Structure 1
Amino acid sequence: MNNTPAFPLANFPFDIIEVILGGIETRRDLLSFATASSACKELVIPRHTEYRNLRIINNRPEIWQHLVQRSDLACNIREVVIVEVGSETRKRKPERFPITFVEKTPTQVNLDDVEVVTLILRVLGNMHDLQSFGWINPWNAQGLYRNVPNYQQDVFQTLKDCKSLAKLNIVDPTLPFDPPVPGPAENEAYPLWDIANLQALSLLEMRWWPTGLDALISKSPNLQSLEFDTPVDTVHFVQCRFPQLRKLQLTAMGIDDEPAIADFLKHHPTIEDLNWYPSTTSLHLEHGVLPHLKRLTSTPEFACSVLSDPTLRNRAVERVHKLLLTDATLAILGAIDTSHMRDLRFWSYRDLDSIHRLAEVCPQLTHLEIPKYGITARNDTQSNYTVDDYILALSKFPVLECFLDPSLWLVLRRSGKEKIERLAALCPKLERLVHSSTQKNAIVDIVLSRDGGKVSWKEETCFRDL
């Protein structure tokens, strides 16, 4: 039988085919390619599908050894996330690493810590197309390789030399350290602070601002996304200018910084996604600031202030977190263009009448969060609302796909399957609800499925982005 693939790609030599397939960046696109034919499937599974994303708890030396041995495959990896041993992993995404071609089991690998770190550095150095690197708890005192001299420094030096790296994420709640455990050097000579030309930088849960961080930020003038937690009274970054900045997330800023941050926003009209909770309730931006804003996460006061700008009522705002569902908020939403609004999340609401009015103002919502929705211990019990009343209010949103407060699912389960089926019938687009699972000690998605008149559901764990 002739198994030669009946498509033009098969006419090329194997090495050329590998180069072409190596140019497919995402695992999703590879899987789409694999569905074209059995021949396509044989070309990319597992040779390419297992070598695009590496997410690993750093206690698997056999994986690093394999990636050194199969550098021809490892060089195609685009994203790496290393989770150091001792990190909290319950809510983080599951591991993803090569399996099919890995020959040795962990018990068969006999390498000391220095040898493993050498393998890690070789693997990272071979990833010529690496685009994104994430490191969770790199300075964790419980990490397996904490005693290897210059472990973190050498990793950052390797990343510094990686010309394709566009995204850097670091999460480390243990900093700053008390002696004798060393964190990153403060001075600008430390290789982390010398990584340049990033498009996205995220430094989360790091509660200090070393001197070198200013250099790191300033060496990536084309940043499109900037996320970091900072100590109080830090204004270092506000002097920078990023002409392509699209996303900005700030936390733990001090009150004294807020006017400077407002000025920073004024000089960055390209921002589309802002996550910032100013402490000053009276803070207002000048009219015309953030003309391209699409997504806003902030305090109710600041969010309403931004949305109320009379010069920008036609902005294509898609998402706002978090608001108070009051008459004043409804008036603001009613005065702006909400044709693009898809996602609203509220701290509180008054009664079901406000929900009905919201549906009139924002009929295209696909995602909605209303706290304690359906709970009878609310002040609105004087209105004698029933479960059916709550379901009817949600049915006013014709394209609602996801309801994000866990209270509703609790009420529905207590009320019986009939109420779940009624919700599914009146909200035909609804696919997901949120549930606080005591068994899993985590927030999970309830995924609804419809088959004729029957409704079923399953739980899916929600993971953090990194």
Structure 2
Amino acid sequence: MHFSKLPPEILDYILSDIDKPSDLIALATTAKELYRIVAPRHSEYRVLRIRHRFPGLWAHLAKRVDLSRNLREINISQKTDQTLIEQYPTTLVSSPLPHGMIDPWKEEEERVQNFLVAMGYTEQLKVFRWDFRYDTGSLYMSSEQELRLLGILSKISSIERLVLAGNLRCLMPLAKNNQFQLVWNMPNLRDLTLMGDVWGLPPALPSLKHVLKQCMQLRRLQIPIEANGISDLVIPTLRQLSLFLYSGTTSSSMKQWNVFLENHPLLEDFWCNPSSTMVLPRNGLVKLKRLSAEPDFLDSFTDAERVPESLECLQYTSFQFNTGFIPPSRCNLKNLKQLHLSTAQTEEELHAIAASCPALTWLHITGCVKFELDVWLDFLSSFLNLEVFRGPGIWISVSDDSERMHVAIMRLVQRCMKLRELDHRSVHGKRGRNRKIVIIKEQTKDGLSVRYEVRRPHSRCRIDFMDDAFARSC
């Protein structure tokens, strides 16, 4: 019997185990019978990314357990987040927008209730992101409703990535934090982001420790610097750590993070802002591949017993290669692939960058003085594998003149054979980031054809400091 001839209920059950929408669409093109089941029952019910309230959508999901159970990713962002391209089911939904709003408070109460009911159906959920930092377009939930949500998430064994961006009411000083610890049970998490200064408050420390003690399979952690007091914890599988500042910190707090680093010698990614008074631990973090830190942290490489063996990505606020930077014998940058600098002030500094980091494929210089175009051409062409160059440097050299920039791009393409992307001078209004100049090379019967297009930046669908820092999504 052909696969598509199976009873619809069996096909529906089998298709529910396919995660990627692209795989579902590919399967749907093989037979009409499959298409009728895939679209929209499965194709529209894998990923949910929204920044509006959509009470009609949540009411629909609360009534359709057969559809809600297939969700793999839920991303609830702020209404003001223009970088998010919304994705939600429309075919079977009467309307995701409110109709005839009479009592906004009652509508919001029903929306949250429907949301919690729908969440109870998501038995295969892998990713849940909830951004409620400014209470703009997100969910307004009471402390009890937050605990109910966390209890629901704790029952979903498939969930691997969790982002909670905001101050949970159930962790506030007046809340009973032991209730939080009773409902939270997510030992299968691989990726955890906790944002909000509530995590840095002393009353929340027992709850924070409870969370991390459960996460013995955690590979990635993003957390406020103020959330110290966990230096005695060891997460054997942790490979990526991101620390970010909310209100302020002290040298004693940073020393606790130094101990935490010492306890995690196998870290591969470390992003810290600010990183003053932090030092490279004695074990040298020899497996470290991606680093974003301030001068003090890198200065500590000089006197360290051991240093990272081979960095691949580096973000640094003030990179003075030619004025006493770390000796090459103490920090090998020959394999560095990505470099993000805040500024470049002299031609000598450009020469030093080229000499220190010959293998770069991605370079971003946020600000710089005006160099002549030939200086940029000589500098960038020294990187034989350069694919992406970010920053306004070339635009500054041609005085923001579009005609001169066209000539500059053509000259640059001739000298940088692998170059595929530059920054445009204009900014995409909604997303607040530079448009991209994408270089397209095509082989024709007359030889190689080279052209370029100006495109808007990619959307971002997650709260991810490390990806921003190291430009993995660029």
Q: What interval of TM-score do these two structures reach, taking the shorter chain for normalisation?
A: 0.7 to 0.9
Check whether the contact 2:4–2:34 (CA below 8 A) recurs between aligned residues: no
- Which of 396, 399, 405 is the aligned partner of 2:391? 405
Report the 3-state secondary structure (helix = DSSP H, G, I; strand = E; otherwise coil) of the residue aligned with 1:112.
helix
Alignment of 1:393 onto 2:356: no
Residues 329-340 of structure 1 aligned to structure 2 (within 5 Å): 332-333=327-328, 336-338=331-333, 340=335
- Distance in 1, matches of 2:270 and 2:252, equals 19
Q: 1:185 maps to what in 2?
A: 175
Alignment of 1:431 onto 2:420: yes
Residues 38-437 of structure 1 aligned to structure 2 (within 5 Å): 44-83=38-77, 88-90=80-82, 92-104=83-95, 106-108=97-99, 112-137=107-132, 140=135, 146=140, 150-172=144-166, 175=167, 185=175, 187-190=177-180, 194-197=184-187, 198-206=189-197, 208-209=200-201, 210-211=204-205, 212-231=207-226, 234-252=227-245, 253-277=249-273, 279-281=275-277, 283-306=278-301, 311-312=306-307, 315-322=309-316, 324-327=319-322, 332-333=327-328, 336-338=331-333, 340-373=335-368, 375-376=369-370, 385-409=371-395, 411-412=397-398, 413-414=400-401, 415-435=404-424, 437=426
1:354/1:137 Cα in 2 relative to 1: closer, same or farther (>3 Å)? same
- Distance in 2, matches of 1:41 and 1:270, equals 47
Check whether the contact 1:156–1:191 (CA below 8 A) recurs between aligned residues: no
Report the 3-state secondary structure (helix = DSSP H, G, I; strand = E; otherwise coil) of the residue aligned with 1:457.
strand
- Distance in 2, matches of 1:340 and 1:161, equals 44
Q: 2:451 maps to what in 1?
A: 454
1:147/1:399 Cα in 2 relative to 1: closer, same or farther (>3 Å)? closer
- Distance in 2, matches of 1:276 and 1:344, equals 16
Q: Which runs of 5+ in 1 are unaligned?
A: 1-6, 377-384
Deviations 1:351-397 (A, max 9, x none): 33433443344332111122324x42xxxxxxxx4212212211111
- Distance in 1, matches of 2:143 and 2:176, equals 17
Alpha-carbon offset, residue 147 of structure 1 = 7.3
Check whether the contact 1:82–1:134 (CA below 8 A) recurs between aligned residues: yes
Report the 3-state secondary structure (helix = DSSP H, G, I; strand = E; otherwise coil) of the residue aligned with 1:276.
strand
1:465/1:445 Cα in 2 relative to 1: closer, same or farther (>3 Å)? farther
Check whether the contact 1:113–1:144 (CA below 8 A) recurs between aligned residues: no
Q: CA RMSD in A?
A: 3.5
Check whether the contact 2:69–2:123 (CA below 8 A) recurs between aligned residues: yes
Alpha-carbon offset, residue 200 of structure 1 = 1.8
- Distance in 1, matches of 2:96 and 2:274, equals 51
- Distance in 2, matches of 1:390 and 1:447, equals 17
Paired residue type of 2:97: P
Q: 1:379 maps to what in 2?
A: none
- Distance in 2, matches of 1:33 and 1:288, equals 50
1:100/1:324 Cα in 2 relative to 1: closer, same or farther (>3 Å)? same
Deviations 1:117-144 (A, max 9, x none): 221111111000111111111782x667
Deviations 1:6-58 (A, max 9, x none): x9643544333333332222335445656778887666444323222111225
- Distance in 2, matches of 1:389 and 1:273, equals 33
Identify which range, 16-25 or 317-326, moves more after superposition. Answer: 16-25
1:36/1:427 Cα in 2 relative to 1: closer, same or farther (>3 Å)? farther
Paired residue type of 2:177: N
Identity within the alignment, %: 24
Alpha-carbon offset, residue 254 of structure 1 = 2.6
Check whether the contact 1:171–1:205 (CA below 8 A) recurs between aligned residues: yes
Identify which range, 337-346 or 392-401, moves more after superposition. Answer: 337-346
- Distance in 2, matches of 1:72 and 1:290, equals 48
- Distance in 2, matches of 1:31 and 1:449, equals 30
Q: 1:25 maps to what in 2?
A: 19
Paired residue type of 2:91: T
- Distance in 2, matches of 1:100 and 1:128, equals 22
Alignment of 1:444 onto 2:430: no
Identify which range, 155-164 or 52-61, moves more after superposition. Answer: 155-164
Check whether the contact 1:188–1:215 (CA below 8 A) recurs between aligned residues: no
Report the 3-state secondary structure (helix = DSSP H, G, I; strand = E; otherwise coil) of the residue aligned with 1:23.
coil
1:223/1:69 Cα in 2 relative to 1: closer, same or farther (>3 Å)? same
Report the 3-state secondary structure (helix = DSSP H, G, I; strand = E; otherwise coil) of the residue aligned with 1:465.
coil
- Distance in 2, matches of 1:396 and 1:34, equals 48
TM-score (norm 2): 0.80
Paired residue type of 1:457: V
Alpha-carbon offset, residue 341 of structure 1 = 2.0
- Distance in 2, matches of 1:261 and 1:303, equals 16
- Distance in 2, matches of 1:445 and 1:332, equals 37
- Distance in 1, matches of 2:396 and 2:14, equals 51
Identify which range, 352-361 or 106-115, moves more after superposition. Answer: 106-115
Alpha-carbon offset, residue 289 of structure 1 = 2.9
Check whether the contact 1:249–1:275 (CA below 8 A) recurs between aligned residues: yes
Paired residue type of 2:81: T
1:409/1:27 Cα in 2 relative to 1: closer, same or farther (>3 Å)? farther
TM-score (norm 1): 0.81
Paired residue type of 1:89: D
Report the 3-state secondary structure (helix = DSSP H, G, I; strand = E; otherwise coil) of the residue aligned with 1:99.
coil
Report the 3-state secondary structure (helix = DSSP H, G, I; strand = E; otherwise coil) of the residue aligned with 2:386.
coil
Check whether the contact 2:428–2:457 (CA below 8 A) recurs between aligned residues: no
Q: How many pairs are equivalent?
A: 438
Paired residue type of 2:193: S
- Distance in 1, matches of 2:300 and 2:25, equals 45
- Distance in 1, matches of 2:4 and 2:361, equals 44
Paired residue type of 1:119: N
